[in-house]
Amino acid sequence: MLDTTRAVEVPEGITLSLPVAGYVSRALAFLVDLIIRFVIFIGLSWIFSIFDRLGDGLLLLSVFLVEWFYPVFFEVFWLGQTPGKKVMGILVVNDDGTPINWSSSIIRNLLRFADFLPAFWAFGLISMMLNRDFKRLGDLAAGTLVIHQREVISPQSNHDAEGLAPKTPLKLDEQSAIIAYSDRIERMTQARADELARYLTPWLQNSQGNQSSALQIVRMARWLKGRREKE
C-alpha cells in the first residue's frame, strides 16, 4: 500500500477515500511552520525594539498571538492548510471530510500544549502511533483528520486518447478490470494509479514510446469499449 486511506460515507450515499497523512509529513510541515514563526518573531523583535519597555510588552503579546493563532488563521482561510502543510501537500479536514471550521481549528491547536507533554511532543507522538488515523490529542478532541491533498490525474489526456489494442486476447474479467481502472483513474492519486497499473502491464504493448502504463491502459479501455459498442 502506498498510502493509508480512510473510507467516509457522506449523506449523499457516496463513500470517499481519504488518504491519511502520517507523522513524518506532519512533522516536516510543523518544522516549516516553526521556521516561519521564528522569522516572524525576529522581525517583530526588531520592530518593537525601538519602543523600549513598551516594545517588550508588545513583543510578548505578539508572540502569544502568532504562536496560538497562526495555525488557526491559515487552516480556516487556506482551506485547512498552513504554509508548512501546503509545502508538504497535506491539509486538515473534519472527520466527515468537510472543510475545517473555526471551532475545530481552535480546539485542535489550543490542545497542542497537551500533545507536548511531558516533553518533546511525547503524548502527541504516542497518540499518533496508537491511532490508525495518526491523530494527535488535539485531533481526537476536535474531530479532525489530516490528509494528503490528492493529485488529480488530468482528465483531458484520457478523453483525447486513441484506442490501443491489447497485445494478447483478454478474458472477459480482464477486460472488465481494464475498463474499471479507466473509469476510476480520475479519482485516484498519481501514485495509486501507477501502483495499480503495474498489475496490468502484462497486457500492454512494448513499443509505445514514452507513454506511461496508466495512459496505455486508458487507451486500451477505449479500444475495448469501442469494440463492445460495435458488437
pLDDT for residue 3: 52
Q: Domain check: are 80 and 106 in the same one?
A: yes
Same domain? For 100 and 52 the reply is: yes
- Which of 132, 148, 164 is at the close of a domain? 148
Q: Looking at the structure, do residues 23 and 81 belong to the same domain, yes or no?
A: yes
Shared-domain flag, residues 87 and 180? no
Q: Write the pLDDT tens digit of every residue in 37-46.
A: 999 999 999 9
Which residues form the domain of 218?
Answer: 155-230
pLDDT tens, residue by residue, 126-160: 999 998 899 999 999 999 999 998 654 444 444 45
pLDDT in tens, 184-213: 787 676 777 777 877 777 767 655 545 677
Mean residue pLDDT across the chain = 83
pLDDT band at 122 (very low <50, low <70, confident <90, very high): very high
How far apart are alpha carbons 204 and 193 in whole angstroms? 15
Question: What residues contact 177, with CB distance under 8 A and at least 6 apart?
Answer: 200
Q: Are residues 161 and 144 in the same domain?
A: no
